[in-house]
Structure 1
């Protein structure tokens, strides 16, 4: 099996992937703190692209559209340990630990590359994975609290995301879609993240764009792909997943249907 996940608690897991490439588009319901053991990950959000490699530690905030592309590298599998910082655990922590500064969602991935204290916190968990035992609940709670305290001591602004427990409210639909159209999410998820029911989302979308969400999303993604291939001189195989398509053949068919020529032909023209 290419993808294997081992849990030592519901909040702490080790994931290992040995295939060529694994892509997922997701909105995490919890903050995810990740320690990178081997391989490579590309994380794509609305305003930034991040690449992580062996030794990196990073925090992905919850309720943000995120494309995650995982690759094995240098003959090693893609291997990570991830800790879910759930709202319940964080609320319990901040009941007795006052947040520093203003609590607000910050639109970024936090990087804590090769931080010795965080590395030590994660490395101490490997023993439990190796022997296949469940981490006792009291120890698990201590490890999660340890990680939170290290994060706060490393970056004072991290309270702005960890201590914020608001759910998405109704926001400007056009602004949100223009920033996030490349994420291949369900319409239900787009509706939730803009603070709408699916019916209200469809109605509001029609008023703004005078077309369906599906048609608009496809056209926007194809135009973005065209820009990357022609202007940025990138290959179609490097682009199709980043702009929201699941496979190369579907992307090539849709591209040719829309523009009248295939992405490979455009790539030749751009040389």
Structure 2
């Protein structure tokens, strides 16, 4: 596993206020996680019994960032997708999308979300950039699709949302992992999961745009660090409106 991707996703979830966050990863990544993000718990993914036992305790599962594409990764994907229930949300990102696109993994009973970039979406769907056919494919997959890009779009049921923010300064490795973590963190804090998804996409790129005014390159960890500040500002604005 590529440890940095998992850590960035975990950071996005923690800094968005997810509460209890656990990163399941190879034991080699434990020290790096706790040096960077001591607020996040760690689960050794080689302990399959414990992983399956803990799986039912999570309301939201994000799988894929830095997972890899080998047999170990496939086994973990199969185990997680087979082990979740209808009351849970499953977000598949990164390598998880590539593995799922092969077509021989079970569809989870949980509510399903994909967060592909354009190349991953083409592998998963066979489609490129047509809004109407993308929406139909999302329905066919039985999933909400967050198609990451300069203007990220969200395809859910009969609706398409396009984000208005985003900067070329955000074209940095790990940016999508952080967004997936923020989505996981905000999903259960909103009245409906889709509202959490849309809020995550908005805050991720909105903060990126603000940081880009003074930075040539915006790092995903910088967006995560600023996230609690802007969540607080907007929550107070919302409260004052009533």
Work out which of the two has the higher radius of gyration on C-alpha atoms and give 1 or 2: 1
Q: Normalising by structure 1, what TM-score?
A: 0.26
Higher fraction of strand: 1
State the TM-score, normalized to the length of structure 2.
0.28
Q: Which has the higher helix share?
A: 2
